[in-house]
Amino acid sequence: MTTTPTRTVPPYRSALHPAHAGFGRLLRAEWTKFWTVRAWLLVLAVAAVVTVVICQLGASGSSVSGGPPVVVGPGGEVVNDSFRFTHRALTGDGTVTTRVTGLTDRSGRGLGPWTKAGIVVKSSLKPGSPYAAVMATPGHGVRMQWNFTHDKAGPSSDLTKAPQWLRLKRLGEKLTGYASVDGQNWTQLGEVRVGGLGRTVQVGLFVAAPAREVVHRSFGGTSSIAGSGQATGTFDHLTLQGKSTDGGWAGTDVGAPDPNGPNGQPGTTTVSPTGTYTLTGQGDIAPDETSPDMVQMSFQGVFMGLLFMAALGTLFVTSEYKRGLIRTTFTATPSRLKVLAAKATVIGAITFTTGLLATAIGFTLAQKTLRSNGFRPPEFPDLSLLENPALRAVVGSAVLLSLVAVLALAVGVVLRSSAGTIATVVVLVILPQILSFALPLPVAQWFLRATPAAAFAIQQGFTYYPQVQHNCLPEAGCYPLTPYHGLTVLVAYTAAALLLAAWTVRRRDA
């Protein structure tokens, strides 16, 4: 029997430099694929135009006019600064001490958790002026707060069960707060520097009862109970160490009484023969979080732009599966994971660059329109494109658009169906946002924590401070997660989808 000798075929070796035969070559190939398909370029251009146009239309439909004068704090933020103040002038350094013996509700709605009774050092009686205060609250224990946006927790003592001793010491611009349960053993709450106090300041007792609104939402609708509070605080053992030119303590309402409060009545101060001070007042000393979010109002077009970016990410891979071209790609490049990485890199870079240009233009035009519609300083400060929170929202929105495109690409690898992929991405990213407007609040907030829709939090321009009680309503643009934490949820979903796509592309035939 005659045997035919076999010939060993040597493995293929590319004549190209390894850098050109590797990932760099794949990037160029995928880049070329994208730019040679006119339909994809058209979708990309339409996505940018639609994003800008809807941002502009959304801003054009928003306007504001009139309203009471706003109070601006030391940092330029809009604040609430209205409370009952029993005070004396202090020249130079000194220390004020008191014991808060009780805090009761006068409005009939119950004490709010951030109702406050304590002592304050304030540069003047002008609303919005610098200050530092130590206080007892019904729901959050003893606190030290200064200049409206800063808050530090002290002992979580229950004022309704035991009196609280408070002390505030001034040494120049350095203010130190203390608390005690017996007036003998003191715990330091904090030491802060407050600029702009001046040599003579106003020191004394204060009471504030913030306005409250309790919102309930069920499948049948939304209801709310709103109204201002009014509280009475009692104090004794009031002492002031330091130089004062005043002959005694005077009572003042800092800021006008809330016209929506109980009869809009001013506060009162009474002093008993035994030295017990009783203050009744309303209002709040805190950031004002009731104004519209001008940053978020400038990005309404991103919601529609997502649909186009999801379509691009989907078609960038499913079109090859549909026409069988993916086999050619995998034959030319056996490393399928490199192909997936190159596709994700290219579509991510293209959509991010386009999204960044669209959101920057859309934000700039929307801000100009909002200004012409009454959104002007000081209530609505000028926002520079290159400073936070505007810069974070612009770049973050571009990242959001890019991540959705990459998520769609990964889902497309798994499903290999254009319609199924787009529908899946819409259900994951857009549907939770829409449902959150109608679902009961706990369910809506869960959706905005656990789904990729949490990433829309990156567009928030407001800082929601923990020392202000507020209802976080999705329709008002409030998200339960911080901007970066919300975006991280979408990053996690995209990473998981890419891992699933990598597993799928290696296990399945092309």
- Three-class SS of 84-123: EEEEEEEEEEEEEEEEEEEEEECCCCCCCCCCEEEEEEEC
pLDDT band with cut points at 50, 70 and 90 for residue 261: very low
Measured between alpha carbons, how far is 50 from 54 in angstroms, rounded to an integer?
6
3-state secondary structure of 247: coil
Q: What is the mean pLDDT of residues 178-182?
A: 94
Residue 227 carries which side chain, given as an amino acid letter?
A: G
Best-predicted range by mean pLDDT (68-82, 146-160, 246-260, 360-374): 360-374
Say which residue the tokens 């669209």 belong to.
Answer: 358
Instruction: Give pLDDT, residue 322.
Output: 80
Instruction: Please determine, for residue 3, whether its predicted confidence score (pLDDT) is greater than 60.
Output: no
Q: What is the mean pLDDT of residues 178-184?
A: 93
Phi, psi of 73 (to 5 degrees): -85, 180
Q: What is the mean pLDDT of residues 155-159?
A: 78
Measured between alpha carbons, how far is 57 from 403 in angstroms, rounded to an integer?
25
Q: Closest Cα partner for 69 from 126, 150, 132, 131?
A: 126
Q: Are the CB atoms for 133 and 146 separated by under 8 Å?
A: yes
Q: Closest Cα partner for 347 from 396, 308, 321, 300?
A: 308
Q: Closest Cα partner for 346 from 1, 2, 34?
A: 34
**Partners of 180 in the β-ladder:** 165
Q: Are the CB atoms for 299 and 293 separated by under 8 Å?
A: no
**Boundaries of CATH 2.60.120 in the chain?**
71-287
pLDDT band with cut points at 50, 70 and 90 for residue 108: low
CATH of 71-287 among 3.90.870, 1.10.599, 3.30.1490, 2.60.120: 2.60.120
Measured between alpha carbons, how far is 294 from 92 in angstroms, rounded to an integer?
41
Measured between alpha carbons, how far is 379 from 491 in angstroms, rounded to an integer?
34
pLDDT band with cut points at 50, 70 and 90 for residue 13: very low
- How far is the CA of 436 from the CAs of 209, 315, 439, in angstroms? 31, 29, 5
Q: What is the mean pLDDT of residues 412-416?
A: 93
